[in-house]
Chain A
Amino acid sequence: MKSFWPVRLASIVGVVALCFALDRAVLAAAPAQYRLLILASLFVILAVSLNLINGITGQFSIGHAAFAMIGAYTAGTLSKNPAFASMPHPQLLAVMTLLGALVAATFGFIVGLPSLRLRGDYLAIVTLGFGEIIRIVTNATESLGGSYGMPVAPKVQFLWWSLLLMVACIALCRNLLKTTHGLTFLAVREDEVAGLAMGVNVTMTKVVAFVIGAAFAGAAGAVLAHTEAFISPRTFPMEMSFIILTMVVLGGTGSITGSALAAVVLFAIPEYLRTLTDAQGKAYEMNAGLFMGILVAIMIAVAASKWIQTNVHEKGKKLGFYAGAWLAVIPLGFLFQTILHLSPTLKTLAFGIDILRYAVFAVVLIALMLLRPQGIFGHHEIGWHWFRKRPVPATEGGAA
């Protein structure tokens, strides 16, 4: 352990330097993407912090956007205070992030203490209800701007700060899993009764996970408020909770790296679809018949894949079958389009291509649940050990 402090200090300095360098590089090379990258890193924080609750501790919580909202409104309200407003921007953002995290954590504790006695579906209902209550109450509170929303001043966009926050969130979760303390969280997920018999304070563990998760969501919300300079209940719709949940499930519940990666991908897809515009800046339109045709074809391909998964066992044959099933999507899609165009309504009806993102989420989720219910990475982490031969327990690794 002698080399601990030099290694730790070096890695912290390295990370900070890297975040600043990335910040400068993006500003120089792609300033248009600066804000989007901040939002992407915030979604990574939201997904990784929900993964701590859902994936690692196994508590089905689906109201995560509410904690981000609490953090955002905390920052929005407190930054109006002259004592804070006079601060230089970096300090202001840091203080607001901290306060947002604290208030969200407090809410997490108040909600978590009674409701974490519930399990599975029941907890999901409570957290869903909590999320809606927060949104509706805000919507009806004049002093918070009601449904019109609330301008947040000053507008502070610091990519380096959100990146640092993201690294901190990922590092803390990963550190936790490297010690026996983290194993008790996994014990709660795996079997509460056995956990209790081994002396694990199950309720306490759940509340701690919930509070840490809420704190990070609150921090992300506070940064979001200052990045966008405007927040309203519509900034945090119910879909947001579901999108975060989709990120966690897609990445593999319990896999930190999986959640982070899925968050980036699922954030990028709708943003990319939004950029698909013609010369006038209008979104491309898609024919409803074609859309439905392709959707049906994809569903058939998913069903075929499921069949292949259970019935074909030779590796080469399996790959060929998969390729065939998914290549067939294109001709099948056009075939269905032709059939659907027999209806004049479907032939003329069209909609903006950016709406597709809802369909993307739905299709991805259906395909995933059927073909790989444990998520893309399952409980595994992506890392160097993928290149080693032996499976590595979660607890192995250095002190860095």
Chain B
Amino acid sequence: MSEAQPILRLDEATIKFGGLTAVNKVSFELNRGDIFGLIGPNGAGKTTCFNLITGVYKPTSGEIYFQGQPIGGLAPNKIATRGICRTFQNIRLFSALSSVENVMIGAHLRHRVPLVGALLLAPNSVAETKALQERSMHLLELVNLADYANHRSADMSYGKQRRLEIARALATDPELILLDEPAAGMNPQEKEELLYTVRRIRDELNKTVLVIEHDMRFVMGLCERIVVLDHGEEIAQGPPDAIRNNPKVIEAYLGEPA
């Protein structure tokens, strides 16, 4: 694969729900190793965009390419297998399970234990499970949750749950990880730590990151490039400084000048 090829490319991706066009002809490209921001006011279509990329919705028109292959309309589990994983805006953990079990479910994707082996508890299934458990513990360490490995995920604080979601997504060993408002509900110190964690994910684990976030300081400090959506349309794209001073973006957030 050539270096120049973008890892993810949205080509005029559009989705309509009845009369409402939630995402209208949005196009952007992510290169390998980017930390890319997706921002916009409430209802701009950011999460819908994530849902299109991860296969929850099928685009009405346009196409999405991942590593050069069209993925629009594939089942979500197929897309996860291709190497895109996500976190959810409204946290969706497996709440009755412990942290480490949550991460292990993510990890199973790359190391499936065959059903018959699992039913008979064959030695290799046990070994595989042990290995995945260890791998999952490492990921929990990465997000500073190692001490909470055996805690029920539903009983943890909001910030910890968000970090656990990131660990779980990383466990699927994705090329591209989508973070949907990872800093929501975190205090300033937790946000600072998250900033550091996301950078580590890119630098040490060599992942590409696409992040939706409302906290402007966080986004501007983290992302190298940003695309801005408003009412389902793309209104700006570029590095943080250009976005910050873009009159269209200011207008979208603050309204028209009086």
- Residue ranges of A at the interface with B (Cβ–Cβ < 8 Å): 1, 4, 172, 175-176, 178-184, 186-187, 189-191, 193-202, 208, 212, 254, 379, 390-395, 399
CB-CB contacts of B16-49 with A at 8 A, as 1s and 0s? 0000000000000000000000000000000000
For A199, what are the chain B residues with a Cβ–Cβ distance below 8 Å? Answer: 77, 80-81, 85, 106, 108-109, 172
Flag if A180 contacts B123 (CB, 8 Å): no
Give complex CA distance A198, B171 in Å.
Answer: 9
- Residue ranges of B at the interface with A (Cβ–Cβ < 8 Å): 54, 56, 75-77, 80-81, 85-86, 88, 92-98, 100-101, 104-109, 111-115, 117-121, 123, 125-129, 132-133, 150, 168-169, 171-172
Query: Which of B77, B112, B115, B128 meets A196, CB within 8 Å?
Result: B77
For B94, what are the chain A residues with a Cβ–Cβ distance below 8 Å? Answer: 186-187, 190-191, 194-195
Q: Mind listing 17 A-B residue pairs with CB under 8 Å?
A: A175-B118, A175-B121, A180-B108, A180-B113, A181-B114, A187-B97, A195-B94, A195-B105, A197-B54, A197-B88, A199-B85, A202-B77, A392-B150, A393-B98, A393-B150, A395-B101, A399-B126
Flag if A198 contacts B172 (CB, 8 Å): yes
Closest to B75 in A: A196
Flag if A198 contacts B120 (CB, 8 Å): no
Flag if A395 contacts B129 (CB, 8 Å): yes
Flag if B77 contacts A183 (CB, 8 Å): no
Contacts A184-B105, A391-B150: A179 and B129 contacting too (C-beta < 8 A)? Answer: yes
Query: Which of A179, A190, A201, A393 meets B125, CB within 8 Å?
Result: A179
Flag if A187 contacts B105 (CB, 8 Å): yes
Flag if A179 contacts B121 (CB, 8 Å): yes
Closest to A174 in B: B121
Q: Report the minimum CB–CB distance from B256 to chain A (whole Å).
A: 38
Q: Report the minimum CB–CB distance from A260 to chain B (whole Å).
A: 18
For B114, what are the chain A residues with a Cβ–Cβ distance below 8 Å? Answer: 181
Query: Which of B76, B77, B92, B128 meets A180, CB within 8 Å?
Result: B128
Flag if A180 contacts B105 (CB, 8 Å): yes
Flag if B93 contacts A200 (CB, 8 Å): no
Query: Which of A176, A180, A194, A197 meets B104, CB within 8 Å?
Result: A180
Flag if A200 contacts B105 (CB, 8 Å): yes
Pick the most buried of B88, B96, B120: most chain A CB atoms within 10 A of its CB.
B96
Give complex CA distance A187, B107 in Å.
Answer: 12
Pick the most buried of B56, B121, B126, B133: most chain A CB atoms within 10 A of its CB.
B121
Contacts A183-B101, A191-B93, A399-B123: A197 and B108 contacting too (C-beta < 8 A)? Answer: no
For A200, what are the chain B residues with a Cβ–Cβ distance below 8 Å? Answer: 77, 105, 108-109
Contacts A187-B94, A399-B121: A181 and B112 contacting too (C-beta < 8 A)? Answer: yes
Contacts A181-B112, A395-B101, A395-B129: A194 and B93 contacting too (C-beta < 8 A)? Answer: yes
For A399, what are the chain B residues with a Cβ–Cβ distance below 8 Å? Answer: 121, 123, 126
Flag if A179 contacts B128 (CB, 8 Å): yes
Q: Report the minimum CB–CB distance from B133 to chain A (whole Å).
A: 6
For A395, what are the chain B residues with a Cβ–Cβ distance below 8 Å? Answer: 100-101, 104, 129, 133
For B106, what are the chain A residues with a Cβ–Cβ distance below 8 Å? Answer: 198-199
Flag if B123 contacts A4 (CB, 8 Å): yes
Give complex CA distance A191, B168 in Å.
Answer: 14
Closest to B119 in A: A172
Flag if B118 contacts A181 (CB, 8 Å): yes
For B120, what are the chain A residues with a Cβ–Cβ distance below 8 Å? Answer: 172, 175
Flag if B56 contacts A183 (CB, 8 Å): no
Flag if A196 contacts B76 (CB, 8 Å): yes
Give complex CA distance A180, B85 in Å.
Answer: 19
Query: Which of A175, A191, A198 meets B109, CB within 8 Å?
Result: A198
For B80, what are the chain A residues with a Cβ–Cβ distance below 8 Å? Answer: 196-199
For A254, what are the chain B residues with a Cβ–Cβ distance below 8 Å? Answer: 96
Flag if B92 contacts A191 (CB, 8 Å): yes
For B111, what are the chain A residues with a Cβ–Cβ distance below 8 Å? Answer: 180
Contacts A186-B94, A399-B126 known; list 19 others, CB within 8 Å: A1-B127, A178-B118, A178-B121, A179-B117, A183-B101, A183-B104, A189-B96, A190-B94, A191-B92, A195-B94, A197-B76, A198-B80, A198-B169, A199-B85, A200-B77, A200-B105, A391-B98, A394-B97, A395-B133
Flag if B119 contacts A183 (CB, 8 Å): no
Flag if B150 contacts A186 (CB, 8 Å): no
For A392, what are the chain B residues with a Cβ–Cβ distance below 8 Å? Answer: 150
For A175, what are the chain B residues with a Cβ–Cβ distance below 8 Å? Answer: 118-121
Give complex CA distance A171, B59 in Å.
Answer: 45
Give complex CA distance A180, B172 in Å.
Answer: 13
For B172, what are the chain A residues with a Cβ–Cβ distance below 8 Å? Answer: 198-199
Closest to A208 in B: B115
Give complex CA distance A137, B128 in Å.
Answer: 46
Q: Report the minimum CB–CB distance from A45 to chain B (whole Å).
A: 15
Closest to B80 in A: A199
Q: Which 6 A-B pairs have the closest CB atoms?
A: A199-B80, A190-B94, A181-B118, A199-B109, A175-B121, A196-B76
Flag if B75 contacts A186 (CB, 8 Å): no
Q: Report the minimum CB–CB distance from A191 to chain B (whole Å).
A: 5
Closest to A168 in B: B119
Pick the most buried of A1, A379, A392: most chain B CB atoms within 10 A of its CB.
A1
Pick the most buried of A190, A197, A212, A394: most chain B CB atoms within 10 A of its CB.
A197
Closest to B99 in A: A393
Closest to A196 in B: B76
Give complex CA distance A196, B85 in Å.
Answer: 10
Give complex CA distance A190, B77 in Å.
Answer: 16
